[in-house]
Every structure is written in structure tokens, then in C-alpha cells.
Amino acid sequence: MNRSLRRFALAASCVLFAGPLMAEPKRPECIAPASPGGGFDLTCKLAQSALMNEKLLSKPMRVTYMPGGVGAVAYNAVVAQRPADAGTLVAWSSGSLLNLAQGKFGRFDETNVRWLAAVGTSYGAIAVKSDSPYKNLDDLVKALKKDPSKVVIGSGGTVGSQDWMQTALIAKAAGINPRDLRYVALEGGGEIATALLGGHIQVGSTDISDSMPHIQSGDMRLLAVFAEKRLDEPEMKDIPTAKEQGYDIVWPVVRGFYLGPKVSDEDYAWWKDSFDKLLASDDFAKLRDQRELFPFAMTGPELDTYVKKQVADYKVLAKEFGLIQ
């Protein structure tokens, strides 16, 4: 073999044995850990559309539903049964982190998955039917003070959930014991909207991105959004904040994805690189805006640090409400 051929062979062998090349997952799937129609569904479908639009996936990512425990069933299933499945993303929200802070995901905690990306944020909101007698937060608080058992509130999850916390903070600000409120535990924003529009509950503790399709159809109103100031979107600018009504409550709802704990570094890096490209894309920004989400972009180690700090902060809040020791 002459010298040039030997050099070519050596270079080829370096490529072959330098390590596995990152490759697109063969069967991409996004698990929405709730029933269809809510925020987790919205999050998965945003990624589904964006990854195809940017040609980062050559075949559509399927969306599947795994309701139970507002994320607990999916978390346990991925960690215990599919820990190395590189094709499986799972949607999470700030509510997932609040549940983790209270130990609601069983024996697993925030260190048991690989936090991948945060892709946007929404804000908590209090929803009623369009013909509700409650026109603002003060109307609702007056009714709760008069007889909290007469106002049925639907929330995603049980006592201690994100939706419960939103109304608990209102109750606390109004001098009402949050434990006196009457809750119906539901699986996410889709079920809350169905129950509210069906007349099974009088109030829905939800978030603004879940609610906007029903606001725009005229079936639902929002008494308040838990943002620092009124939101700039044309269809949201008339929705009052809780703060401007005298209730100093702000509750952002960050949304994103995690992977199983044993997904390889190479596969994790493929997903991180893909989401870094997405989050820098103008087309992705348009898709995010269409789903009533606001900018919040974070991936990899930076996101891991953020998640762990949020869980620590939520533990402090949970202790304040007597939810954990």
C-alpha cells in the first residue's frame, strides 16, 4: 500500500472508531402526561410541528397520552420502564416541578431524569363560563367568604397542585382558609374546560394558553391572569391581572421536555442541538405565539440548574401551606 493510501485508510479508521455519531431517533414520540386538550398536549404538538417544519426530523413525532397524577404516571413509567429510550420526550410544566417538590412522583425526584429543554411560558389564570355571575376576583372572593362550599373549583390535580396553589394564594390573600375551598381534581386543562363548560364546576383554576381557544369562541371568560402586568397580545390585553385587582400573585407556567435517565450523552446531545436550533428560529417563535406561549428558552445544564432551584423554591412554598413537613 503506498503512502497516500495508508493515510486515507488511517483517516477512515479514525472516523469509524472515533465513537458513535449522533443520529435522528428512529421512533420519535412525545408523551403528554394528561388527557388530550390541555397544556401538555399543546407542548407536545408545538414540538411535533416545529421539528418537522425545521426538517430536524424526517418523519413526524407521534403524540401519546399518559394521564395520571398530573405527570406522576408518565414520570415513573419513563424512569422505571423506558430509561434509555432516546426517542421518547415527555412534556413537563412548572406544575410538574411543584409536584416533585412535594414528593408526589413516588420514589423518584428531580434528579431522576435528564432535563432537556424549556420552550415557552404561559401564566396561571382563573376561568369562568361567559355567563358566570362572577365578573372579577372580588366577586369570587365575596362568594367564597360567604360560603366556600357553594363554589366548586376545578383544578388540575389534588390539594397541593399548581392549580390548587393559585386559588390557595387568592384565599390566603383574602383571609380564607384554603382548606375550606371545594375542589374537584381533574387531569389537566382539557378536562377543566370540559367540566366548566358542562356546568359541573363554577370556576376553573387553569392557565391562559389552555383557555384562549374558549375565550376566543366566547364560551369562557378569565377573571384574572397571574402575570406581572397585562399581556401584550391583542386577544389578551383586556384580561386583568390579579395584581391590578389587589391580589399580589404572579404564577408563570414554564413548559418543556425531559428524557429518560439512561439516554446516552450522544442522543441527549442530538436533542439539545435540535432544540437549540428550534429556539433560535423565527418560525418556531411564530408557532409558539400561535399557541399563546411567551418566550422562555433554556436547554441542557442551564435548564438542569433552573429546575433544581425551582423545586427547592417550591418546597419552601409547600411548607408554608403545610403540604410537606
Reading the block at residue 134, the C-alpha cell is 362572577
- What is the reported pLDDT for 22? 65
- Residue in the block written with cell 495508508: 6
Model confidence pLDDT, tens digit, residues 126-146: 999 999 999 999 999 999 999
More confident residue, 111 or 149: 111
Model pLDDT, residue 168: 93
Q: Is the pLDDT of residue 5 over 80?
A: no
Report pLDDT digits (tens) over 250-284. Answer: 999 999 999 999 999 999 999 999 999 999 999 99
Q: What pTM was estimated for this model as a whole?
A: 0.84
- The answer regarding whether domain 28-122+253-320 maps to CATH 3.40.190.150 reads yes
Inform me whether the pLDDT recorded for 68 exceeds 80: yes
Return the higher-pLDDT residue of 14 and 211.
211
For residue 193, the Cα-to-chain-centroid distance in whole angstroms is 17
Superfamily name with CATH number, domain 123-251:
Periplasmic binding protein-like II (3.40.190.10)
Average pLDDT, the chain: 91
Give residue limits of the domains in the chain: 28-122+253-320, 123-251
Inform me whether the pLDDT recorded for 6 exceeds 50.
no
pLDDT at 16 over 80: no
CB 220 within 8 A of CB 197: yes
The pLDDT value given to residue 187 = 79
pLDDT, tens digit, for every residue of 186-207? 977 889 999 999 999 999 999 8
C-alpha cell at 272: 439539545
pLDDT for residue 140:
97
Q: Is the pLDDT of residue 49 over 60?
A: yes
292 confidence band (pLDDT: 50, 70, 90): confident
Whether 21 has a pLDDT exceeding 80, the answer reads: no
* φ and ψ at residue 188, rounded to 5 degrees: 90, 180
Residue 9 has pLDDT above 80, yes or no: no
Measured between alpha carbons, how far apart are the two ends of the chain, in Å? 74
> Looking at the predicted structure, is the pLDDT value of residue 4 above 50?
no
Residue 299 CB neighbour total at 10 angstroms: 22
Q: How confident is the model at residue 13 (pLDDT cuts 50, 70, 90)?
A: very low
- pLDDT above 90 covers a percentage of the chain that reads 81
- For residue 294, what pLDDT is reported? 94
Instruction: Quick: pLDDT tens for 81-115.
Output: 999 999 999 999 999 999 999 999 999 999 999 99
Is residue 32 over pLDDT 90?
yes
Distance CA 230, CA 154 (A): 24
What's the mean pLDDT in 15-19? 39
Mind spelling out the 3-state secondary structure of the chain? CCHHHHHHHHHHHHHHHCCCCCCCCCCCEEEECCCCCCHHHHHHHHHHHHHHHCCCCCCCCEEEECCCHHHHHHHHHHHHHCCCCCCEEEEEEHHHHHHHHCCCCCCCCCCCCEEEEEEEEEEEEEEEECCCCCCCHHHHHHHHHHCHHHCEEEEECCCCCHHHHHHHHHHHHCCCCHHHCEEEEECHHHHHHHHHHCCCCCEEEEEHHHHHHHHHCCCEEEEEECCCCCCCCCCCCCCCECHHHCCCCCCEEEEEEEECCCCCHHHHHHHHHHHHHHHCCHHHHHHHHHCCCECCCEEHHHHHHHHHHHHHHHHHHHHHCCCCC
* Residue appearing with cell numbers 408526589: 104
What is the rounded distance in angstroms from the CA atom of residue 2 to the CA atom of residue 221? 79
Same fold, 28-122+253-320 and 123-251: yes
Residue 11 in this model has a pLDDT that exceeds 60: no
Q: What is the pLDDT of residues 304-314, one digit of tens each?
A: 999 999 999 99
What band does 248 get if pLDDT is binned at 50, 70 and 90?
very high
pLDDT > 50? residue 12:
no
